[in-house]
Every structure is written in structure tokens, then in C-alpha cells.
Amino acid sequence: MNLSSYWVDLHLHTVLSPCAELEMGAPEIVSAYRGAGVSLCAVTDHNDIANAPAIREAAEGDPAVLTGMEIQTAEDIHVVVIFPDDESAVEYRRWLWLSLPDRENDPSIFGYQLVIDHENNIMSERDTLLVQGVGYSVDEVASEACRMGAVVIPAHLDRPSFSYESVLGRVPDDFPCHALELSPAVSHSAFAEWRERYPDRVFVRSSDAHRLSEISRDRCTVMRLAAPSFGEVRMALGGMEGRSVLNPWTWSP
């Protein structure tokens, strides 16, 4: 098996996230990843998956595009979940939305929530506010995702809000997840402290891009994979069959 180093970004927002800029359309996101030389991205809008197919269709394989979402739990903790396929993503969203409060979005306050196609045609607009906590706890959100074969990553652990650390403290060693995410703001020396705090966890660095200028290699992670795909990423996070995640803060080409 020939393994190569691929740049991957497992956290990205589109125009479906009200907080993302309207420039986060399908062709624009694809161009940004191609320009940056990033081979795989996961579309992770808040509490929804609807724009992943548009980005994937626009990308035509470059970059590879995974379907995910960034869930806001009942405790207001952000968790990135990435699905093996669109069927499981739809099933999970159906389960998640059973507990999504019926609160209407006000675009003048929060921004637009647009479902687009691969040419940025607006297909629909989400009426229910997506940036709010669902009814499930962080344990329920993670366990259900694991049960469906998804990858679970507590988001931006270093941030002072909406992170597991800021709400509940240290992520327990038995919490069901595949990696911990740190934001690109984390320095070399700060990373060493995170490493010490979680000696047995895998860390990823993700862009959490809300605008095109936030898509770049220095906001991503390098993985050793046979190909840029969900299955390979999952193996790398588990350190299986030679696949691996390279320390994003010390690795250089």
C-alpha cells in the first residue's frame, strides 16, 4: 500500500451557516482549497448537512468532500461529526432535528441560511435557526454518531466559548470521540501543553473557515493516507494499518 501525505481540513462552513460570509459558495470554496493545495475537506455547517452535496459536485473530486456537521449540544458545546456517507448523514440529522427547538431565524440578526446547488443557485432557505443548542447532551450526540459509524471530534477545544473545555472542563478519557480539534490560533508551545494534558488523544487542526481567506494549509492537518477519503481519514485517526495524523504544529513538507 502506497501512503502519501495529504492536507485535510475537517471543519468548514458554507452559506448555510448564518455566521458564514456570503462568499462561501460552492465554486469559491473549491477554488480556495485547490489554490491552497488541500486535498480533502469536510463540510460542517451548524446542525445541518444540506450544502455538502453542492460542494462535492462543484469539486468533482478535487478536493474530496466529506459530509459533516458542527452540532451545538444542549450544553452549548460544539462537536464536529463526519459521516461515512450521505444516507447516514440524513438519518442522523433526522434524529438530531427531533430535538432542535422551533425557533425562527431572523436573517437581519443572525444572517442568511441558504441551501445552494453547485453553481450557487439558491434552492431554499432554512427557516429554523441553526445556530442554537439541540436538546441532546454532548454524550448523546457523540454516542449516536459513533453508533452510526461517524467520526466525532470535539471542536476548537482551546476557545473560551462553545468548547468542551470551556463548558465542562477536561474531556474524559472515555468520552467517545476519534480526535480533539484545536484552532489554528494555538501556538507551538501551547500545543505542547495540550499534548501533555491529553497524552492518549489524536489532535487535528482545522480551519473552521467562515470566509475564503481562512482556507489555507497553515489552518489544516497533514495525514498519511492511501487516498483522500472518509475511510482513510478514519483509519488515520485510529492509527490503523500505517495511516497516521502528523502533528500539525511541527510537521513541515
Rank residues 67 and 244 by Cβ distance to Zn ion and give the closer one.
67
CB of 85 to Zn ion, least distance (A): 22
Shortest distance (Å) from residue 96 CB to Zn ion: 16
Q: What is the 3-state secondary structure (H, E, C) of 86-139?
A: HHHHHHHHHHHHCCCCCCECCCCCCCCCEEECCCCCEEEECCECCCCCCCCCHH
Nearer to Zn ion, 45 or 232 (CB): 45
Nearer to Zn ion, 21 or 208 (CB): 208
Smallest gap from Cβ 3 to Zn ion, in A, equals: 29
Query: CB-hemisphere CA count at 13 Å for 109?
Result: 6
| Least Å from the CB of residue 107 to Zn ion | 19
Question: Nearer Cβ to Zn ion, position 39 or 47?
Answer: 47
Contact 99, 134 (CB under 8 A): yes
For Zn ion, the binding residues (CB under 5 A) are 70, 78, 155, 208
The crossing angle, in degrees rounded to 10, of helices 26-36 and 52-59 is 60
Q: Is 155:69 a contact under the CB 8 Å cutoff?
A: no
